[in-house]
Amino acid sequence: MHKFRSKCYKLFKRKWNPRKTKWTKTYRMLKKKSLYEDEILKLEKKIDEPLVVDKQILNQTIEVIPQYIEKRMEREDFFVMDRILTQREKEKENEIKFIEKHKHLLEDREAKKKVIKGVIIGKKKEKETKTIQEYEIN
């Protein structure tokens, strides 16, 4: 029998679908939130068969492990950045669509601003003329 974490075991007993739980590996694979079909990750699979160990091969694998880890980190970072950038592009597209859909509201707003500016300028001119007339009277 496999050893489960308590939270996993509770959900397993309740026959909960792991695809609906966000922190499970199956959910992350289904929603393409993590690398799961990458060649580097396939190297990590466990082998249940006992192997005859050759010292030369063992030394070569130990030398390659840091390179492997570095390459894996690079790919994961690239994957995450790519996901973030594609999401930003989608958000921009949605914002542009929203603006195009509600363009009439912006046009009305600009027209109102022009009217308000005209009224403010008109009031300023009236004040200036009043002050000029007051100076002329005095």
Task: Single out the residue of 56, 76, 54 nearest to residue 64, CA to CA.
Answer: 56
Q: State the pTM of this model.
A: 0.47
If we measure between CA atoms, which residue out of 20, 17, 23, 19 comes closest to residue 5? Answer: 23
What is the per-residue burial (b if ≥16 Cβ within 10 Å, else e) of 32-48? eeebeeeeeeeeeeeee
> How long is the chain?
138
pLDDT interval class at 130 (50, 70, 90): low
121, 126, 127, 128 alpha-carbon torsion, rounded to 10°? 90
Which pLDDT score, from 0 to 100, does residue 136 have? Answer: 56
With H, G, I as helix, E, B as strand and everything else as coil, classify residue 1. Answer: coil
Rounded Cα distance between 87 and 63, Å, is: 38
Which helix or strand (DSSP H or E) is residue 98 part of?
Answer: helix 55-101
pLDDT per residue over 98-121, tens digit each?
Answer: 888 888 777 777 777 776 677 667
pLDDT in tens, 24-74: 888 888 887 877 777 777 777 667 777 777 889 889 888 988 998 898 889
